[in-house]
Structure 1
Amino acid sequence: MRVRYVLSEVLTGLWRNVTMTIAMIITMTVSLTMLGASLLLFFQVGKMEDFFYQRVEVSVFLKGDVSDEQRTNVESALKSDALVQSYKHETKEEAWDRFKEQFKDAPDLVSATKPNSLPESFRIKLKDPNKVQEFSDQFRTQDGVSDIIDQKQLLKRVFDLLGALQTLALTVAVVQGAAALLLVANTIQVAAYSKRREVAVMKLVGASNWFIQMPFVLEAVFAGLIGAILAFGALVAAKIFFIDGSLKALTQVLLPVDWNNVWLMLPVLCGAGGLVSAVTAWVTLRFYVRV
Protein backbone atom coordinates (compact mmCIF):
# COMPACT_ATOMS: atom_id res chain seq x y z
CA MET A 1 0.00 0.00 0.00
CA ARG A 2 2.76 2.44 0.89
CA VAL A 3 4.69 1.61 -2.27
CA ARG A 4 1.61 2.19 -4.40
CA TYR A 5 0.99 5.51 -2.67
CA VAL A 6 4.57 6.66 -3.16
CA LEU A 7 4.55 5.72 -6.86
CA SER A 8 1.21 7.45 -7.45
CA GLU A 9 2.53 10.58 -5.76
CA VAL A 10 5.64 10.47 -7.97
CA LEU A 11 3.58 10.28 -11.16
CA THR A 12 1.21 13.00 -9.94
CA GLY A 13 4.13 15.27 -9.05
CA LEU A 14 5.80 14.77 -12.40
CA TRP A 15 2.61 15.54 -14.29
CA ARG A 16 1.76 18.54 -12.09
CA ASN A 17 5.13 20.19 -12.88
CA VAL A 18 5.53 18.72 -16.36
CA THR A 19 7.22 21.76 -17.90
CA MET A 20 9.80 22.00 -15.13
CA THR A 21 10.29 18.24 -15.28
CA ILE A 22 10.99 18.42 -19.02
CA ALA A 23 13.40 21.31 -18.47
CA MET A 24 15.15 19.33 -15.73
CA ILE A 25 15.46 16.27 -17.98
CA ILE A 26 16.84 18.31 -20.89
CA THR A 27 19.40 20.08 -18.72
CA MET A 28 20.43 16.79 -17.14
CA THR A 29 20.72 15.20 -20.59
CA VAL A 30 23.04 17.91 -21.88
CA SER A 31 25.27 17.85 -18.81
CA LEU A 32 25.50 14.03 -18.73
CA THR A 33 26.18 13.91 -22.48
CA MET A 34 29.13 16.25 -22.03
CA LEU A 35 30.28 14.22 -19.03
CA GLY A 36 30.11 10.99 -21.04
CA ALA A 37 31.90 12.59 -23.98
CA SER A 38 34.71 13.84 -21.75
CA LEU A 39 35.09 10.39 -20.16
CA LEU A 40 35.19 8.70 -23.57
CA LEU A 41 37.77 11.23 -24.72
CA PHE A 42 39.80 10.53 -21.59
CA PHE A 43 39.79 6.78 -22.34
CA GLN A 44 40.60 7.42 -26.00
CA VAL A 45 43.55 9.70 -25.28
CA GLY A 46 45.01 7.12 -22.91
CA LYS A 47 44.54 4.37 -25.50
CA MET A 48 46.18 6.48 -28.21
CA GLU A 49 49.12 7.35 -26.00
CA ASP A 50 49.77 3.69 -25.22
CA PHE A 51 49.45 2.75 -28.89
CA PHE A 52 51.45 5.50 -30.57
CA TYR A 53 54.15 6.02 -27.95
CA GLN A 54 55.15 2.38 -28.35
CA ARG A 55 55.54 2.95 -32.09
CA VAL A 56 57.24 6.33 -32.25
CA GLU A 57 60.47 6.66 -34.18
CA VAL A 58 63.35 9.07 -34.10
CA SER A 59 64.33 10.40 -37.49
CA VAL A 60 67.98 11.31 -38.08
CA PHE A 61 68.04 13.46 -41.22
CA LEU A 62 71.30 13.67 -43.17
CA LYS A 63 72.68 16.72 -44.89
CA GLY A 64 72.18 17.12 -48.60
CA ASP A 65 75.90 16.89 -49.30
CA VAL A 66 76.57 13.98 -46.92
CA SER A 67 79.46 11.79 -48.03
CA ASP A 68 79.49 8.01 -48.17
CA GLU A 69 82.00 7.94 -45.34
CA GLN A 70 79.84 10.12 -43.12
CA ARG A 71 76.76 8.00 -43.87
CA THR A 72 78.71 4.85 -43.04
CA ASN A 73 79.95 6.33 -39.77
CA VAL A 74 76.43 7.26 -38.70
CA GLU A 75 75.16 3.78 -39.51
CA SER A 76 78.05 2.16 -37.62
CA ALA A 77 77.27 4.32 -34.59
CA LEU A 78 73.64 3.25 -34.75
CA LYS A 79 74.60 -0.42 -34.89
CA SER A 80 76.74 -0.17 -31.77
CA ASP A 81 74.45 2.10 -29.75
CA ALA A 82 72.83 0.32 -26.80
CA LEU A 83 69.78 2.62 -26.96
CA VAL A 84 68.84 1.56 -30.49
CA GLN A 85 66.47 -1.36 -30.96
CA SER A 86 66.29 -1.20 -34.76
CA TYR A 87 66.82 1.25 -37.58
CA LYS A 88 66.11 1.67 -41.28
CA HIS A 89 67.90 3.78 -43.85
CA GLU A 90 65.60 5.75 -46.15
CA THR A 91 67.01 7.18 -49.39
CA LYS A 92 65.76 10.32 -51.07
CA GLU A 93 63.86 8.23 -53.61
CA GLU A 94 62.18 6.21 -50.86
CA ALA A 95 61.33 9.40 -48.97
CA TRP A 96 59.78 10.84 -52.13
CA ASP A 97 57.69 7.70 -52.74
CA ARG A 98 56.46 7.74 -49.14
CA PHE A 99 55.64 11.44 -49.39
CA LYS A 100 53.55 10.90 -52.52
CA GLU A 101 51.66 8.07 -50.85
CA GLN A 102 50.98 10.05 -47.67
CA PHE A 103 49.75 13.14 -49.53
CA LYS A 104 48.08 11.51 -52.52
CA ASP A 105 44.87 13.35 -51.61
CA ALA A 106 46.71 16.70 -51.90
CA PRO A 107 48.02 16.74 -55.49
CA ASP A 108 48.84 20.44 -55.37
CA LEU A 109 51.23 19.87 -52.47
CA VAL A 110 52.86 16.93 -54.23
CA SER A 111 53.33 18.88 -57.47
CA ALA A 112 54.80 21.83 -55.57
CA THR A 113 57.39 19.61 -53.83
CA LYS A 114 60.60 18.67 -55.59
CA PRO A 115 61.88 15.10 -55.18
CA ASN A 116 65.37 16.30 -54.23
CA SER A 117 63.99 18.50 -51.44
CA LEU A 118 63.33 15.47 -49.23
CA PRO A 119 66.49 14.42 -47.36
CA GLU A 120 67.63 10.90 -46.78
CA SER A 121 67.40 9.73 -43.21
CA PHE A 122 67.69 6.94 -40.68
CA ARG A 123 64.48 5.99 -38.89
CA ILE A 124 65.30 4.59 -35.46
CA LYS A 125 63.22 2.62 -33.00
CA LEU A 126 64.58 3.08 -29.48
CA LYS A 127 64.40 0.45 -26.76
CA ASP A 128 63.14 3.10 -24.36
CA PRO A 129 61.17 5.96 -26.02
CA ASN A 130 61.84 8.16 -22.99
CA LYS A 131 65.58 8.30 -23.75
CA VAL A 132 65.25 10.36 -26.89
CA GLN A 133 67.16 13.29 -25.44
CA GLU A 134 70.10 11.09 -24.51
CA PHE A 135 70.12 9.62 -28.01
CA SER A 136 69.89 13.06 -29.63
CA ASP A 137 72.83 14.38 -27.61
CA GLN A 138 74.97 11.53 -28.94
CA PHE A 139 74.14 11.91 -32.63
CA ARG A 140 73.44 15.61 -33.09
CA THR A 141 77.16 16.35 -33.39
CA GLN A 142 77.84 13.52 -35.84
CA ASP A 143 79.31 14.64 -39.17
CA GLY A 144 76.69 14.55 -41.90
CA VAL A 145 73.70 14.83 -39.54
CA SER A 146 71.37 17.73 -40.36
CA ASP A 147 68.59 17.36 -37.78
CA ILE A 148 66.98 14.89 -35.37
CA ILE A 149 63.20 14.77 -35.09
CA ASP A 150 61.41 13.01 -32.26
CA GLN A 151 57.94 11.89 -33.31
CA LYS A 152 56.93 11.77 -29.65
CA GLN A 153 57.21 15.56 -29.45
CA LEU A 154 55.00 15.89 -32.51
CA LEU A 155 52.45 13.52 -31.04
CA LYS A 156 52.58 15.37 -27.73
CA ARG A 157 51.13 18.43 -29.45
CA VAL A 158 48.22 16.36 -30.72
CA PHE A 159 47.61 14.87 -27.28
CA ASP A 160 47.84 18.34 -25.70
CA LEU A 161 45.10 19.48 -28.09
CA LEU A 162 42.95 16.45 -27.26
CA GLY A 163 43.57 17.07 -23.57
CA ALA A 164 42.40 20.66 -23.98
CA LEU A 165 39.22 19.43 -25.69
CA GLN A 166 38.72 16.97 -22.85
CA THR A 167 39.08 19.75 -20.27
CA LEU A 168 36.65 21.92 -22.22
CA ALA A 169 34.06 19.12 -22.38
CA LEU A 170 34.47 18.41 -18.66
CA THR A 171 34.15 22.13 -17.84
CA VAL A 172 30.94 22.41 -19.86
CA ALA A 173 29.64 19.28 -18.13
CA VAL A 174 30.37 20.77 -14.69
CA VAL A 175 28.66 24.05 -15.58
CA GLN A 176 25.65 22.26 -17.05
CA GLY A 177 25.62 19.93 -14.04
CA ALA A 178 25.51 22.88 -11.66
CA ALA A 179 22.61 24.34 -13.65
CA ALA A 180 20.84 20.97 -13.54
CA LEU A 181 21.28 20.72 -9.76
CA LEU A 182 19.86 24.19 -9.24
CA LEU A 183 16.93 23.28 -11.46
CA VAL A 184 16.39 20.04 -9.52
CA ALA A 185 16.45 21.93 -6.23
CA ASN A 186 14.04 24.57 -7.54
CA THR A 187 11.66 21.94 -8.94
CA ILE A 188 11.60 20.05 -5.66
CA GLN A 189 10.97 23.25 -3.72
CA VAL A 190 8.05 24.17 -6.00
CA ALA A 191 6.63 20.65 -5.76
CA ALA A 192 6.95 20.64 -1.97
CA TYR A 193 5.39 24.09 -1.70
CA SER A 194 2.42 23.08 -3.86
CA LYS A 195 1.80 20.17 -1.46
CA ARG A 196 2.55 22.06 1.75
CA ARG A 197 -0.92 21.38 3.20
CA GLU A 198 -0.71 17.64 2.54
CA VAL A 199 2.78 17.57 4.04
CA ALA A 200 1.60 19.46 7.13
CA VAL A 201 -1.26 17.00 7.65
CA MET A 202 1.05 14.02 7.19
CA LYS A 203 3.45 15.43 9.79
CA LEU A 204 0.58 15.96 12.23
CA VAL A 205 -0.54 12.34 11.91
CA GLY A 206 3.00 11.12 12.59
CA ALA A 207 4.32 10.32 9.12
CA SER A 208 8.08 10.01 9.07
CA ASN A 209 10.29 12.40 7.16
CA TRP A 210 11.42 9.51 4.99
CA PHE A 211 7.83 8.73 3.95
CA ILE A 212 7.12 12.40 3.20
CA GLN A 213 10.33 13.01 1.28
CA MET A 214 10.40 9.81 -0.76
CA PRO A 215 8.00 10.89 -3.58
CA PHE A 216 9.94 14.11 -4.13
CA VAL A 217 13.28 12.33 -4.14
CA LEU A 218 12.00 9.74 -6.61
CA GLU A 219 10.80 12.53 -8.91
CA ALA A 220 14.33 13.89 -9.05
CA VAL A 221 15.80 10.40 -9.51
CA PHE A 222 13.36 9.70 -12.34
CA ALA A 223 14.38 12.88 -14.14
CA GLY A 224 18.07 12.07 -13.59
CA LEU A 225 17.70 8.52 -14.96
CA ILE A 226 15.73 9.65 -18.01
CA GLY A 227 18.39 12.28 -18.66
CA ALA A 228 21.12 9.65 -18.33
CA ILE A 229 19.37 7.29 -20.76
CA LEU A 230 18.90 10.10 -23.29
CA ALA A 231 22.55 11.11 -22.84
CA PHE A 232 23.64 7.53 -23.47
CA GLY A 233 21.44 7.46 -26.58
CA ALA A 234 23.16 10.62 -27.80
CA LEU A 235 26.59 9.00 -27.32
CA VAL A 236 25.48 5.86 -29.18
CA ALA A 237 24.10 7.99 -32.03
CA ALA A 238 27.36 9.94 -32.18
CA LYS A 239 29.30 6.66 -32.29
CA ILE A 240 27.19 5.24 -35.14
CA PHE A 241 26.59 8.29 -37.32
CA PHE A 242 29.70 10.40 -36.71
CA ILE A 243 32.59 8.37 -35.30
CA ASP A 244 31.86 5.26 -37.39
CA GLY A 245 30.18 7.26 -40.14
CA SER A 246 31.34 10.58 -41.50
CA LEU A 247 34.51 10.60 -39.36
CA LYS A 248 35.45 6.98 -40.03
CA ALA A 249 38.53 7.90 -42.05
CA LEU A 250 39.82 10.05 -39.19
CA THR A 251 39.18 7.43 -36.52
CA GLN A 252 41.12 4.86 -38.54
CA VAL A 253 44.15 7.09 -38.02
CA LEU A 254 43.38 8.08 -34.41
CA LEU A 255 42.09 4.60 -33.43
CA PRO A 256 38.37 3.72 -33.23
CA VAL A 257 36.34 4.27 -30.09
CA ASP A 258 35.65 0.93 -28.38
CA TRP A 259 32.02 -0.08 -27.95
CA ASN A 260 32.95 -1.45 -24.53
CA ASN A 261 33.75 2.09 -23.37
CA VAL A 262 30.49 3.39 -24.84
CA TRP A 263 28.42 0.73 -23.05
CA LEU A 264 30.31 1.50 -19.85
CA MET A 265 28.81 5.00 -19.98
CA LEU A 266 25.26 3.67 -19.38
CA PRO A 267 25.76 2.58 -15.73
CA VAL A 268 28.14 5.49 -15.11
CA LEU A 269 25.70 8.12 -16.36
CA CYS A 270 22.70 6.47 -14.69
CA GLY A 271 24.58 6.26 -11.42
CA ALA A 272 25.75 9.86 -11.64
CA GLY A 273 22.37 11.23 -12.71
CA GLY A 274 20.33 9.24 -10.21
CA LEU A 275 22.64 9.66 -7.24
CA VAL A 276 23.29 13.37 -7.69
CA SER A 277 19.58 14.08 -8.24
CA ALA A 278 18.63 12.07 -5.16
CA VAL A 279 21.19 13.79 -2.94
CA THR A 280 20.20 17.23 -4.22
CA ALA A 281 16.50 16.54 -3.63
CA TRP A 282 17.15 15.12 -0.16
CA VAL A 283 19.27 18.08 0.92
CA THR A 284 16.68 20.51 -0.44
CA LEU A 285 13.85 18.75 1.39
CA ARG A 286 15.75 18.63 4.68
CA PHE A 287 15.44 22.39 4.90
CA TYR A 288 11.78 22.29 3.90
CA VAL A 289 10.59 19.49 6.17
CA ARG A 290 12.14 21.14 9.23
CA VAL A 291 10.03 24.26 8.74
Structure 2
Amino acid sequence: MRMKYVLTEVMVGLWRNVTMTIAMIITMTVSLFLLGFSGLLYQKVGDMKDLYYENVEVSIFLKTEVSAEDRTALEAKLKSDPLVKESTYVDKDEAYKRFQEMYQDAPDLVNAVKPDQLPESFRLKLVNPEQYKNIYDQYKDTGGVDEIVDQSKLLDKVFNVLTGIQNFTLFISVVMAAAALLLVANTIQVAAYSKRREVAVMKLVGASNWFIQAPFVLEAVVAGLIGAVFALVGLVVGKTLLGGGSMASLEGLITPVSWSEIFLIFPLIAGVASLVTAITAWVTLRFYLRV
Protein backbone atom coordinates (compact mmCIF):
# COMPACT_ATOMS: atom_id res chain seq x y z
CA MET A 1 0.00 0.00 0.00
CA ARG A 2 2.78 2.43 0.89
CA MET A 3 4.66 1.69 -2.33
CA LYS A 4 1.50 2.22 -4.36
CA TYR A 5 0.96 5.57 -2.62
CA VAL A 6 4.55 6.64 -3.32
CA LEU A 7 4.36 5.70 -7.01
CA THR A 8 1.00 7.44 -7.39
CA GLU A 9 2.39 10.59 -5.82
CA VAL A 10 5.38 10.46 -8.17
CA MET A 11 3.15 10.42 -11.26
CA VAL A 12 0.87 13.12 -9.86
CA GLY A 13 3.86 15.29 -8.97
CA LEU A 14 5.40 14.97 -12.42
CA TRP A 15 2.10 15.93 -14.06
CA ARG A 16 1.34 18.73 -11.60
CA ASN A 17 4.51 20.61 -12.59
CA VAL A 18 4.55 19.38 -16.18
CA THR A 19 6.24 22.45 -17.71
CA MET A 20 9.07 22.41 -15.18
CA THR A 21 9.32 18.64 -15.53
CA ILE A 22 9.68 18.97 -19.31
CA ALA A 23 12.33 21.67 -18.90
CA MET A 24 14.19 19.49 -16.41
CA ILE A 25 14.05 16.46 -18.72
CA ILE A 26 15.26 18.47 -21.73
CA THR A 27 18.17 19.95 -19.78
CA MET A 28 19.08 16.54 -18.36
CA THR A 29 18.90 15.04 -21.86
CA VAL A 30 21.32 17.58 -23.32
CA SER A 31 23.77 17.33 -20.42
CA LEU A 32 23.70 13.51 -20.39
CA PHE A 33 24.05 13.37 -24.18
CA LEU A 34 27.15 15.56 -23.98
CA LEU A 35 28.44 13.48 -21.07
CA GLY A 36 27.98 10.28 -23.07
CA PHE A 37 29.53 11.86 -26.15
CA SER A 38 32.57 13.09 -24.23
CA GLY A 39 32.92 9.63 -22.64
CA LEU A 40 32.88 7.95 -26.06
CA LEU A 41 35.27 10.57 -27.42
CA TYR A 42 37.64 10.01 -24.50
CA GLN A 43 37.63 6.28 -25.20
CA LYS A 44 38.14 6.77 -28.95
CA VAL A 45 41.04 9.18 -28.44
CA GLY A 46 42.69 6.55 -26.23
CA ASP A 47 42.07 3.83 -28.84
CA MET A 48 43.44 6.06 -31.60
CA LYS A 49 46.58 6.80 -29.61
CA ASP A 50 47.19 3.09 -29.08
CA LEU A 51 46.54 2.38 -32.76
CA TYR A 52 48.73 5.13 -34.18
CA TYR A 53 51.57 4.92 -31.69
CA GLU A 54 51.77 1.20 -32.35
CA ASN A 55 52.46 1.92 -36.03
CA VAL A 56 54.41 5.16 -35.70
CA GLU A 57 57.80 5.33 -37.41
CA VAL A 58 60.95 7.36 -36.91
CA SER A 59 62.71 8.21 -40.16
CA ILE A 60 66.46 8.85 -40.23
CA PHE A 61 67.23 10.56 -43.55
CA LEU A 62 70.79 10.30 -44.82
CA LYS A 63 72.86 12.94 -46.53
CA THR A 64 72.89 12.98 -50.33
CA GLU A 65 76.54 11.99 -50.54
CA VAL A 66 76.59 9.58 -47.59
CA SER A 67 79.48 7.12 -47.71
CA ALA A 68 78.99 3.37 -47.69
CA GLU A 69 81.02 3.14 -44.46
CA ASP A 70 78.75 5.61 -42.63
CA ARG A 71 75.64 3.84 -43.91
CA THR A 72 76.93 0.41 -42.84
CA ALA A 73 78.00 1.67 -39.42
CA LEU A 74 74.64 3.32 -38.83
CA GLU A 75 72.77 0.20 -39.89
CA ALA A 76 74.79 -1.95 -37.50
CA LYS A 77 74.26 0.51 -34.66
CA LEU A 78 70.49 0.56 -35.24
CA LYS A 79 70.23 -3.22 -35.29
CA SER A 80 71.99 -3.46 -31.93
CA ASP A 81 70.06 -0.61 -30.31
CA PRO A 82 67.67 -1.90 -27.58
CA LEU A 83 65.34 1.05 -28.22
CA VAL A 84 64.77 -0.02 -31.84
CA LYS A 85 62.23 -2.76 -32.45
CA GLU A 86 62.69 -2.91 -36.22
CA SER A 87 64.93 -1.11 -38.70
CA THR A 88 64.29 -0.97 -42.47
CA TYR A 89 66.69 0.53 -45.00
CA VAL A 90 65.04 2.48 -47.85
CA ASP A 91 67.24 3.24 -50.86
CA LYS A 92 66.57 5.95 -53.45
CA ASP A 93 64.57 3.68 -55.77
CA GLU A 94 62.35 2.44 -52.95
CA ALA A 95 61.92 6.01 -51.66
CA TYR A 96 60.82 7.07 -55.16
CA LYS A 97 58.28 4.23 -55.35
CA ARG A 98 56.82 5.31 -52.01
CA PHE A 99 56.78 8.92 -53.21
CA GLN A 100 54.86 7.90 -56.36
CA GLU A 101 52.29 5.99 -54.30
CA MET A 102 51.87 8.84 -51.83
CA TYR A 103 51.37 11.50 -54.50
CA GLN A 104 49.71 9.44 -57.22
CA ASP A 105 46.93 12.03 -57.45
CA ALA A 106 49.49 14.73 -58.33
CA PRO A 107 51.24 13.44 -61.49
CA ASP A 108 52.87 16.81 -62.23
CA LEU A 109 54.63 16.74 -58.87
CA VAL A 110 55.75 13.14 -59.39
CA ASN A 111 57.14 13.90 -62.85
CA ALA A 112 59.06 16.89 -61.49
CA VAL A 113 60.97 14.75 -58.99
CA LYS A 114 63.73 12.35 -60.01
CA PRO A 115 64.70 9.21 -58.01
CA ASP A 116 68.20 10.53 -57.24
CA GLN A 117 66.71 13.63 -55.62
CA LEU A 118 65.16 11.64 -52.78
CA PRO A 119 67.40 10.73 -49.84
CA GLU A 120 68.14 7.30 -48.52
CA SER A 121 66.71 6.59 -45.08
CA PHE A 122 66.20 4.15 -42.27
CA ARG A 123 62.63 3.64 -41.07
CA LEU A 124 62.48 2.64 -37.41
CA LYS A 125 59.80 1.13 -35.24
CA LEU A 126 60.59 1.75 -31.59
CA VAL A 127 59.95 -0.51 -28.64
CA ASN A 128 58.43 2.54 -26.94
CA PRO A 129 57.43 5.29 -29.44
CA GLU A 130 57.52 7.87 -26.66
CA GLN A 131 61.31 7.44 -26.50
CA TYR A 132 61.78 9.31 -29.77
CA LYS A 133 63.77 12.02 -27.99
CA ASN A 134 66.37 9.44 -26.94
CA ILE A 135 66.73 8.27 -30.54
CA TYR A 136 67.10 11.86 -31.73
CA ASP A 137 69.76 12.72 -29.16
CA GLN A 138 71.66 9.50 -29.86
CA TYR A 139 71.79 9.72 -33.68
CA LYS A 140 71.58 13.43 -34.56
CA ASP A 141 75.38 13.79 -34.73
CA THR A 142 76.08 10.38 -36.29
CA GLY A 143 78.06 10.43 -39.51
CA GLY A 144 75.91 10.51 -42.66
CA VAL A 145 72.68 11.53 -40.84
CA ASP A 146 70.95 14.58 -42.32
CA GLU A 147 67.57 14.74 -40.52
CA ILE A 148 65.49 12.72 -38.06
CA VAL A 149 61.71 12.92 -38.36
CA ASP A 150 59.23 11.47 -35.88
CA GLN A 151 55.61 10.94 -36.98
CA SER A 152 54.41 11.12 -33.38
CA LYS A 153 55.16 14.87 -33.32
CA LEU A 154 52.42 15.40 -35.91
CA LEU A 155 50.13 12.94 -34.15
CA ASP A 156 50.59 14.83 -30.88
CA LYS A 157 49.17 17.94 -32.55
CA VAL A 158 46.16 15.99 -33.80
CA PHE A 159 45.56 14.43 -30.41
CA ASN A 160 45.90 17.83 -28.73
CA VAL A 161 43.05 19.11 -30.91
CA LEU A 162 40.93 16.05 -30.12
CA THR A 163 41.67 16.38 -26.42
CA GLY A 164 40.66 20.05 -26.59
CA ILE A 165 37.33 19.09 -28.19
CA GLN A 166 36.91 16.40 -25.55
CA ASN A 167 37.56 18.82 -22.68
CA PHE A 168 35.26 21.46 -24.19
CA THR A 169 32.45 18.93 -24.57
CA LEU A 170 32.94 17.77 -21.00
CA PHE A 171 32.89 21.39 -19.77
CA ILE A 172 29.62 22.10 -21.61
CA SER A 173 28.09 18.92 -20.18
CA VAL A 174 29.08 20.00 -16.66
CA VAL A 175 27.52 23.44 -17.21
CA MET A 176 24.32 21.86 -18.54
CA ALA A 177 24.31 19.41 -15.63
CA ALA A 178 24.56 22.32 -13.18
CA ALA A 179 21.59 23.97 -14.89
CA ALA A 180 19.67 20.69 -14.71
CA LEU A 181 20.41 20.34 -11.00
CA LEU A 182 19.15 23.86 -10.33
CA LEU A 183 15.98 22.95 -12.18
CA VAL A 184 15.69 19.77 -10.11
CA ALA A 185 16.07 21.73 -6.87
CA ASN A 186 13.59 24.38 -8.01
CA THR A 187 11.07 21.78 -9.15
CA ILE A 188 11.30 19.94 -5.84
CA GLN A 189 10.86 23.16 -3.89
CA VAL A 190 7.77 24.10 -5.90
CA ALA A 191 6.34 20.60 -5.52
CA ALA A 192 7.00 20.60 -1.77
CA TYR A 193 5.46 24.05 -1.38
CA SER A 194 2.32 23.04 -3.28
CA LYS A 195 1.93 20.10 -0.86
CA ARG A 196 3.04 21.95 2.26
CA ARG A 197 -0.25 21.40 4.09
CA GLU A 198 -0.31 17.70 3.31
CA VAL A 199 3.32 17.41 4.40
CA ALA A 200 2.55 19.25 7.66
CA VAL A 201 -0.33 16.89 8.41
CA MET A 202 1.83 13.84 7.67
CA LYS A 203 4.51 15.13 10.05
CA LEU A 204 1.91 15.72 12.76
CA VAL A 205 0.62 12.15 12.52
CA GLY A 206 4.16 10.79 12.81
CA ALA A 207 5.07 9.96 9.21
CA SER A 208 8.79 9.40 8.78
CA ASN A 209 10.94 11.78 6.78
CA TRP A 210 11.72 8.94 4.36
CA PHE A 211 8.02 8.40 3.65
CA ILE A 212 7.48 12.12 3.07
CA GLN A 213 10.59 12.61 0.95
CA ALA A 214 10.35 9.46 -1.18
CA PRO A 215 7.80 10.76 -3.75
CA PHE A 216 9.77 13.98 -4.31
CA VAL A 217 13.09 12.17 -4.65
CA LEU A 218 11.60 9.62 -7.04
CA GLU A 219 10.14 12.43 -9.15
CA ALA A 220 13.62 13.76 -9.73
CA VAL A 221 15.06 10.29 -10.35
CA VAL A 222 12.33 9.42 -12.88
CA ALA A 223 12.90 12.70 -14.73
CA GLY A 224 16.64 11.98 -14.77
CA LEU A 225 16.12 8.46 -16.11
CA ILE A 226 13.82 9.75 -18.85
CA GLY A 227 16.53 12.24 -19.77
CA ALA A 228 19.06 9.37 -19.87
CA VAL A 229 16.82 7.40 -22.25
CA PHE A 230 16.48 10.41 -24.55
CA ALA A 231 20.24 10.93 -24.39
CA LEU A 232 20.73 7.30 -25.49
CA VAL A 233 18.30 7.89 -28.36
CA GLY A 234 20.37 10.93 -29.36
CA LEU A 235 23.58 8.87 -29.37
CA VAL A 236 21.89 6.14 -31.44
CA VAL A 237 20.61 8.70 -33.95
CA GLY A 238 24.05 10.29 -34.14
CA LYS A 239 25.67 6.90 -34.75
CA THR A 240 23.10 6.09 -37.44
CA LEU A 241 23.48 9.39 -39.29
CA LEU A 242 27.26 9.59 -39.10
CA GLY A 243 27.93 5.87 -39.50
CA GLY A 244 26.81 5.80 -43.11
CA GLY A 245 27.95 9.29 -44.05
CA SER A 246 31.04 11.32 -43.45
CA MET A 247 32.38 9.04 -40.73
CA ALA A 248 32.35 6.06 -43.09
CA SER A 249 34.86 7.83 -45.34
CA LEU A 250 37.22 8.14 -42.38
CA GLU A 251 37.28 4.41 -41.68
CA GLY A 252 40.88 3.38 -41.11
CA LEU A 253 41.78 6.91 -40.00
CA ILE A 254 39.82 6.83 -36.75
CA THR A 255 38.51 3.93 -34.73
CA PRO A 256 34.72 3.67 -35.21
CA VAL A 257 32.23 3.74 -32.36
CA SER A 258 30.49 0.38 -32.06
CA TRP A 259 26.88 -0.19 -31.05
CA SER A 260 28.02 -2.12 -27.99
CA GLU A 261 30.03 0.89 -26.78
CA ILE A 262 26.99 3.14 -27.13
CA PHE A 263 24.71 0.78 -25.23
CA LEU A 264 27.35 0.07 -22.59
CA ILE A 265 27.63 3.76 -21.82
CA PHE A 266 23.89 3.97 -21.06
CA PRO A 267 24.21 2.44 -17.56
CA LEU A 268 26.84 5.10 -16.82
CA ILE A 269 24.70 8.08 -17.80
CA ALA A 270 21.61 6.51 -16.23
CA GLY A 271 23.51 5.89 -13.00
CA VAL A 272 24.87 9.45 -12.96
CA ALA A 273 21.39 10.84 -13.63
CA SER A 274 19.79 8.76 -10.89
CA LEU A 275 22.46 9.39 -8.26
CA VAL A 276 22.88 13.12 -8.84
CA THR A 277 19.15 13.90 -9.06
CA ALA A 278 18.41 11.80 -5.97
CA ILE A 279 21.13 13.54 -3.94
CA THR A 280 20.01 16.98 -5.15
CA ALA A 281 16.38 16.28 -4.29
CA TRP A 282 17.27 14.83 -0.89
CA VAL A 283 19.49 17.78 0.05
CA THR A 284 16.80 20.23 -1.08
CA LEU A 285 14.16 18.47 1.02
CA ARG A 286 16.46 18.31 4.04
CA PHE A 287 16.59 22.08 4.05
CA TYR A 288 12.86 22.31 3.45
CA LEU A 289 11.91 19.93 6.27
CA ARG A 290 14.03 21.88 8.71
CA VAL A 291 11.92 24.98 8.22
**How many equivalent residue pairs?**
288
**Aligned 8 A contact 2:221 2:274 in 1:** yes
36-45 vs 256-265, which moves further = 256-265
Contact 1:92 1:115 in 2 (8 A): no
Residue identity (%)? 57
**Aligned ranges 1:40-189 → 2 under 5 Å:** 40-104=40-104, 107=105, 111-112=108-109, 114-116=112-114, 118-189=118-189
State the one-letter code of the partner of 1:144: G
Q: Could you tell me how far apart the structure 2 residues matched to 1:207 and 1:127 are? A: 67
Name the TM-score, length of structure 2 as normaliser.
Answer: 0.90
Give the Å deviation of 1:161.
1.6
Structure 1 window deviating more from structure 2 (280-289 vs 49-58): it is 49-58
Distance 1:33 1:9 in 2: 29
Over the residues paired in the alignment, what is the CA RMSD in angstroms?
2.1
Unpaired runs of 5+ residues, structure 2, are none
Counterpart Cα distance in 2 of 1:128 and 1:179: 44
Q: Deviations over 1:83-121 (max 9, x none)?
A: 3222222234433443443455xx45x634643464332
- Written as runs of structure 1 = structure 2, the 5 A alignment for 1:202-241 is 202-241=202-241
Residues 87 and 244 of structure 1: is their aligned pair in 2 closer, same or farther, counting only changes over 3 Å? farther
SS in 2 for 1:87: strand
Asked if the contact 2:88–2:122 (Cα under 8 Å) also holds between the matched residues in 1, the reply is yes
Match of 1:273 in 2: 273
Alpha-carbon shift at residue 68 of structure 1 (Å): 4.3
What is the aligned partner in structure 1 of residue 28 from structure 2? 28
| Cα distance between partner residues in 2 of 1:254 and 1:17 | 45
Q: Is the 8 A contact 1:38 1:169 kept in 2?
A: yes
Shift of 1:8: 1.4
> For the residues of structure 2 that align with 1:231 and 1:168, how far apart are their CA atoms?
18
Amino acid in the other structure paired with 1:28: M
Q: CA deviation at 1:2?
A: 1.5
Secondary structure at the counterpart of residue 54 of structure 1: helix
Extract structure 1 runs of 4+ deviating beyond 6 A. none
Contact 1:59/1:122 (8 A) holds in 2: yes
**20-29 or 190-199: bigger deviation:** 190-199
**TM-score by structure 1 length?**
0.90
User: Cα offset for 1:51?
Assistant: 2.2
1:195 maps to 2:186: no
Query: Contact 1:243–1:251 at 8 Å: present in 2 too?
Result: no
